[in-house]
Structure formats: structure tokens, C-alpha cells
Amino acid sequence: MRIAIAQLDYTVGAFDANLALMREAVEKARIQGSDLVVFSELATVGYPPGDLLERRDFVDRNLRQLEHVAGLSDDSLGIVVGYVDRNPTGRGKGLFNSAALCVGGRSVARYHKCLLPSYDVFDEARHFEPGGPARPLLFKGVRLGISVCEDVWSDPDLDGRSIYHRDPVLEQVEAGAQLLINISASPFELGKAAQRRDLVRRYAAQSGRFFVYANQVGGNDELVFDGHSIVVDPTGRVVVRGHDFAEDLLVYDIDLEASDGELGELRPVAESTGEEAVKALELGLGDYAKKTGFGKVLLGLSGGIDSALTAAVAARALGPDRVLGVAMPTRYSSRGSLDDAQALVDNLGIDYRVISIDGIFQAYLDGLAPIFQDCEADVTEENIQARIRCGVLMALSNKFGRLLLTTGNKSELAVGYATLYGDMAGGLAVISDVPKTLVYDIARHLNRERETIPQSIIDKPPSAELRPDQTDQDSLPPYDELDRVVEGYVERNLSVSELAAEGNDRGVVELVVGLIDRSEYKRRQAAPGIKITAKAFGIGRRYPIVADYKGLHG
């Protein structure tokens, strides 16, 4: 059986454009003599549709889309496609997250996803009813054991426990499935492709079946889908692998009688954390700009490492001619920062403007003088500068239709070392899930072959330059210590005592944890950021603002 995995980049709700992509994939697969084309989870609507699922018109349109996709099938070429089905029983949630088997121009059979992820960025119990017992669907005499995304994540070995009571893939195997197929929309995080691959390999080897795993690709809001679709043979070997972070059509011949598979094409994929991260950020930014209709972006260039990396990612994702960097010096900006920004711009070949904001800053100080007369200068004056930069950048964004990119990193966002309505402003926070230590790693990765980010930017101590001779380390512990605590507290939910027991300085732990807790109000209004770690700030971390966090750790 010749299988074609269509690994495509959908825009949520773009029914016509998505259908055109799917039609093209089916035609290519047909030319190559494929028996079955496999699309990813919820391919009729694009994942994740969120509460659009609550709209009847949206679900109707998805059902019409299913008919269109089914219409691409014929008697020799079948299609498996993810879609939203209605639950007709009047009991339970009103929708299923489903896969349809389409043959002869019609949807002929369906499977409803059984395991509905409801953690981190996933809200599937919000919209969907779980499917009943998993049963194979017959196609060309072969019993297909179809499952949808999370259905392969029931392994109790993952965390020492299972949050689920069922294993739909095993149900399929026990019900006689001869070929396993999973359609996914599984978002990227560092290391996740390997984790997914191991799950699929284990099922294939345990069951002695071929396993076809088809994943979505592309950036949608905070999530990047990395593709990385695979076929695993009954020995547990990956026999064909799709691109990471790019569309693909993977064709592979499965001999259902064979005990192992011939080795097909293994596309080259990212080999280091730095490479993986850059590819994810590029795709996330590129798709956000493209799918929101912004052709061009702008960002503030401070001369520091964060804005330098963001600019470099933008130049790679969109091309340097679509990126404008703006330096906005004040009395506190060093000559070196402007030189560094210029060197970066020269390396990247992006557009560049310098706009002094000192006149505006002085106008603020003058306007506020009557009311601030008896007050010492404090963080207020620093924030005013950051907010003026926001005002200038947003004015350029409004006037010239450019998407403003925010440049803050995860370490800063964690501890609130950022100004709300200031440097936190922007349509997309490109590196807000990249810890500062990883920012440097990625910069070094980008510089492997030739200097992209000027070495002087990498070498100098980070500074916000909002008062004379300021450096980040005046207010914060060294970034390697900071990042260890952020990772333990945010990604692993460790307590203060547990963090100290892991060897972190207790004073540093208490300082950092206190800052993280107190910054929740800032993050609630942060720009959406591209998720690359197991726990990003954003839609997947839902902490209250109003809470006695001090009491919690006491």
C-alpha cells in the first residue's frame, strides 16, 4: 500500500486556501500512484481553532470542507483527514475531534479521538466529547487502526503515571488493526520530536505493525508545529521522515506482509538545540507575519543581544528588506550601543533608522515636573523612556503598516524585568520563551559560519541603559543562576525548598521566585510569544494575578 503523508501548513479558518493546498497534495500523490493520502488532525479547519468551535457556522463550514476534501478521493485513492464532527446524541459535549476515511468521493467511515488533552496549551475537553471504543476502518481490504494525536500519549512510563484510563492504539491493535495511522497537530517544543518518535516506535515494535504518523506544520499564534512526520516499521525503525518546520509530501510503500520496511527518504532535520530553536522561531515569526497579512516588521534595536537575535531571526524569516530596526537613544545610551546596532544592521542588511527620543523624554519630565516636584528619580523615569520607545515604534507601525516585534527574552519576562506598555509592547514576542542563556547559545549557533550577530554584542554585559552605568546584574542574579531557578520553578513546578535542595542558592531562589510571582500582572498583558519550551508563559500557564504568593511559599 502506497501511503502519502501530506504535511501542510494550514491557516485557521482559511477554508479555500487550505483546500487548495490539500488539492495540490492529493494531485501530487495521485501522480505518484498513492493508495492513501493522510492529512493531519483537524485539517479541515487548521489547529488550534479555539473557541471558533463554539460557532455553528464554523462547524458547518468545516463539514462542507470535509465534503470537498472527500471529493478529492476516488475508488483508487483514499484519504484520511481530520475534521470536526457533531455529537448527535444530545448528551455530552456537542463535538468530536474526528478522522474521516474518504473513498470514491465520499466520507465513508469515521473515528473519534478518545484522549482529549486538557493541560498546558490544550483545551480539548472544553470542546470535544471522547470517542467510544476504537475500531479499525476497512480500506482496500486492510484494517486501518486510526488514532488522533493525543491517542498515542497514554503511556504511563512518560511521567510514572497516566492521566488517561484508556489506550486507543492498543484498542485498535486488539481489534485487529493491520496498519496504524496517527494524525496529529502536535506543537513543537525543544526535544519533543524525539519524544514523539519514541512513542510511535514503541507502538510499532510492540504491535509488529507499520505506524504512519502525520503531523501538521506551521506557526499559528503561540504554537509552532514542526512537522517531522514519520513512518515506523514493525521493528520500530523510522523508515521515512519528513521535513522539520516545512511542508512536505512523503510517499512510502508499505508491504503489510513484511516484518520490516525498506529504508526510504530521511529528510535532514535540525541537529542541535540552537538549530532547532532558530528554525522554530523563524517559522513562528514568518507564519505570524504572513497569516496576519503583515508583509513587513519593525523592532527597536538597543544594541543588545535580545534585539539583535530578534532582528536576525526576522531577517532570516522574511528577508532583510522586510525588516526595519530603529535605534532610539537617550542621554543614557552609550556610543557603543549605537555602534553595535549599526554593526548588526550592516551584517543583516536590514533597514535602519535612528530617532532620538531625548526631546520627548524632556517634554515628559517638564510636563510631570509640577506633580513630581518633591520626588526622587526612580524606576518611573526609566519606564517613561521605555514607554516613549513604545510610542515611537507603534507610531511607525501604524503609519507604515509594519508589525512590531517585541524583543524580550524568557528570563526577563519571568522576573518582570521589562516595562509594560514599553519594551513589552508588540504584536509578537519572538524570543519570549527563550531563556537568556539560550539566547547566547542561539547567537553563537548563528555565528558558526560567519559573524551574523556582532561579537561585541555577545561579549558585553547586558544593560537596559535606562540610567547611567546600569547593567542587568545590578538588579538580577547572573543569568545562568537565574535561568536554573526559572526552569525549575516554571517548567517543573518545584518549590522554594526543592530548588534550594537542587543546589541553587536559597537567597537567589527566594528573590527570583518572588519576582516571578509578582510579575503575573505584567505577563497577563504580554504580547503572544512563540513557545519553544515545555512551559511557556502565555496560554499554557494560567496563574491568577490576585493571589497571596508570599503566603504560598511561607
Q: Any idea which residues carry the catalytic annotation? A: 41, 113, 149
Residues sharing a CB contact under 8 Å with residue 130, sequence separation 6 or more, in sequence order? 112, 113, 114, 115, 116
Q: Are strands 210-215 and 230-232 parallel, antiparallel or unpaired?
A: antiparallel
Task: Say if CB 113 and CB 98 are below 8 A apart.
Answer: yes
DSSP letters along 242-305, please? PPBSS-EEEEEE--TT-SS-----B-----SHHHHHHHHHHHHHHHHHHHHT---EEEE--SSH
Task: Say if CB 432 and CB 425 are below 8 A apart.
Answer: no
| Grid cell at residue 119 | 493541560
Q: CB 467 → a copy of itself: shortest distance, Å?
A: 14
Q: CB 506 → a copy of itself: shortest distance, Å?
A: 15
Task: Say if CB 276 and CB 301 are below 8 A apart.
Answer: no
Q: CB 419 → a copy of itself: shortest distance, Å?
A: 9
Q: How far is CA 545 from CA 463, 515, 525, 542, in A?
A: 28, 13, 11, 9
User: CA-CA distance, 257 to 309, in Å (whole number)?
Assistant: 51
Of 253 and 498, CB closest to a copy of itself: 498
Q: How far is CA 65 from CA 7, 16, 60, 188, 247, in A?
A: 18, 9, 9, 26, 21
Q: CB 148 → a copy of itself: shortest distance, Å?
A: 18
User: CA-CA distance, 185 to 52, in Å (whole number)?
Assistant: 17
Of 103 and 396, CB closest to a copy of itself: 396
Of 343 and 496, CB closest to a copy of itself: 496
Of 457 and 509, CB closest to a copy of itself: 509
Task: State the sign of the Cα–Cα–Cα–Cα dihedral 464, 467, 469, 473.
Answer: negative
Q: What's at 113, amino acid-wise? A: K
Of 80 and 314, CB closest to a copy of itself: 314
Q: CB 13 → a copy of itself: shortest distance, Å?
A: 4
| Grid cell at residue 121 | 496549551
Of 109 and 368, CB closest to a copy of itself: 368
Q: CB 149 → a copy of itself: shortest distance, Å?
A: 17
